[in-house]
Amino acid sequence: MCGILAVLGCSDDSQAKRVRVLELSRRLKHRGPDWSGLYQHGDFYLSHQRLAIIDPASGDQPLFNEDKAIVVTVNGEIYNHAELRKSLPNHKFRTGSDCDVIAHLYEEHGENFVNMLDGMFSFVLLDTRDNSFIVARDAIGITSLYIGWGLDGSIWISSELKGLNDECEHFECFPPGHLYSSKNGGFRRWYNPLWFSEAIPSTPYDPLALRRAFEKAVIKRLMTDVPFGVLLSGGLDSSLVASVTARHLAGTEAARQWGAQLHSFCVGLENSPDLKAAREVADYIGTVHHEFHFTVQDGIDAIEDVIYHVETYDVTTIRASTPMFLMARKIKALGVKMVISGEGADEIFGGYLYFHKAPNKEEFHSETCRKIKALHQYDCLRANKSTSAWGLEARVPFLDKDFINIAMAIDPEWKMIKLGEGRMEKWVLRRAFDDEENPYLPKHILYRQKEQFSDGVGYSWIDGLKAHAALHVNDKMMQNAKHIFPHNTPTTKEAYHYRMIFERFFPQNSATLTVPGGPSVACSTAKAVEWDAAWSNNLDPSGRAASGVHLSGYEQQAVLASAGVVPPEILVNLPRMMNVAAPGVVIQS
């Protein structure tokens, strides 16, 4: 991931202002340690901190059209840039960068070109002929982006809060799938898929079509000129990403260029569920596997850095971001600059445990739509900023536009969890890759129950965080929490602790408002409570904390095993912290 910062129409073209813009841009250097660029046109400034993935030799930014009248600074990857170049035969490109097509597309199509881009991106484009500009963010919000307004009439754009929070009277999250145009002075949505209206789709489930769409999404994300790997937790989503990647790379030029085998990476506490499962998947698909261990104290020591980089006080996000933040540093130390990750599948297919309680397909589908629309505030935020903190790029094939369109067009009746019919959560995805002749994964991995990332890295991780927070937050502080933090009042000591750290780095009210709100309930959603009132008694967002649903999920696996859908040995995957055994299965203490 790169870092972009733009100051647009600030009524100050002095050297002092240029120095200040450079100073603020350096706050984003962790996102792009390979090169820095700044373009100034009067009182317009476009800066860039580059992480060189495509064309490392000549793809420095900002980028220009032929006569340099159009300037663009971009964070992201345009996967269909080769096809787009072919559609622009009368244009000459200065670099081999995938982002070089943007200025030229604007020349040909004006502001309406954004939907032609297939990728993850945030960009600012300045047309110096009339000093007009546009800003756009990718469909789901995989890349982070913020917009701010200054008292002098200026507009500020930054990949992270820290680039603009000291300079703007007000700032906020730039909405995903939107474009801001100076010509009309406002936002408009450029991403308008059929599923966005939440109308109930009716396309029959086609497992082969779903499989092919996902394989295509993975393969296009292997576009790189630098060493890469896959994040592998051992859960369904990352395991499918790794399996499809390994199959495609076998015997390809990329395999010969970067080594005979794909590299995979996992993080966890000693003997955590993820480490064991990931090791088994790596052995099965034949990756060079790297296993990183951390202690609870390692994670606690990193919390302040995590909150500074991820820019949130959301409990679930911080819990999951910390192991990812530690792992990203190790991965970058190995010389890897890009990884492929599994975010998004749970939102698309209803993989969270509370989806067991969905009363009908209409509500199931509506909730998946809502979860996808909120991804930029949670999992996308975590994946982008935890890795970008160390100059590592994360790509997410489940959030491919074409794949989402196919997956969200499926009649949601097929996604519903129906134990009597042998259908667990994300069954449509599991079934699509359940190939008896040429298996993608072992059966018990393909049908492994959902673990939240913060649980899977080791159950004592969350327990340790709670104990640490209790040392810093006392009962009197909690009693007064609503007066100290009237907006998004923390309801647990852990949440209060994170909020104190966040406000030390980002004290502005605008910063507080960028984090999604409401009381912290299981899976951070009121819908879970609506479907099952038992969730209302749980203030902890961990999937494990909802032991009744977790146990229900275990019991469903027993049903699947007895029906022959999954092998009986899957039963031993029950989390030990639940201290529950199936008939004939002994859980060692």
Nearest to 349 by CA among 286, 416, 277, 275: 416
Written as one letter, the residue type at 333 is A
Query: What would the DSSP string read from start to end of 365-429?
Result: HHHHHHHHHTGGGTHHHHHHHHHHTTT-EEE-GGG-HHHHHHHTTB-GGGTS-BGGGTB-TTHHH
CA distance 545 to 539: 9
Q: What sign has the CA pseudo-torsion 221, 223, 225, 227? A: positive
Query: What would the DSSP string read from start to end of 233-298?
Result: -SSHHHHHHHHHHHHHHTTSHHHHHH-SS-EEEEEESTT-HHHHHHHHHHHHHT-EEEEEE--HHH
Q: Are 292 and 326 in contact (CB under 8 A)?
A: yes
Paired strand residues for 6: 46, 157
What single DSSP character describes residue 199?
P
CA 42 to chain CA centroid, nearest Å: 36
Phi, psi of 15 (to 5 degrees): -65, -35
CA distance 549 to 237: 20
Asked if residue 98 belongs to a known ligand binding site, the reply is yes
Phi, psi of 439 (to 5 degrees): -60, 140
Residues marked as catalytic: 2
Two tokens at 429? 């995805």
Q: Count CB-CB contacts under 10 A for residue 199.
A: 11
Indicate left, alpha or beta for 286 from its phi (over 0: left) and psi (-120 to 50: alpha). Answer: left
Counting every residue, how long is the chain? Answer: 589
Asked if residue 396 belongs to a known ligand binding site, the reply is no
Asked if residue 59 belongs to a known ligand binding site, the reply is no
Secondary element (H or E) of residue 32: none
Asked if residue 342 belongs to a known ligand binding site, the reply is yes
Asked if residue 559 belongs to a known ligand binding site, the reply is no
Q: Are 454 and 316 in contact (CB under 8 A)?
A: yes
Question: In the chain, what is the straight-line distance between the N-terminal and C-terminal CA atoms, in Å?
Answer: 44
CA angle 60, 64, 67 (to 5 degrees): 140
Go through 116-147 and write b for each residue having 16 or more CB atoms within 10 A of its CB, e for each that does not: bbbbbbbbbbbbbeeeebbbbbbbbbbbbbbb
What single DSSP character describes residue 70?
E
**Could you give the C-alpha distances from 299 to 88, 214, 268, 393, 465, in angstroms and in order?**
49, 33, 10, 21, 9
Q: Are 322 and 519 in contact (CB under 8 A)?
A: no
CA distance 526 to 535: 9
Count how many Cα atoms sit within 13 Å of the Cα of residue 268 in the half-sphere of its side chain: 26
What single DSSP character describes residue 497?
H
Q: Are 59 and 48 in contact (CB under 8 A)?
A: no
Secondary structure percentages of the chain, helix, strand, coil, to 5: 45, 15, 40
**Binding-site residue set for ATP:** 231, 267, 341-342
**Binding-site residue set:** 98, 231, 267, 341-342
**Binding-site residue set for L-glutamine:** 98
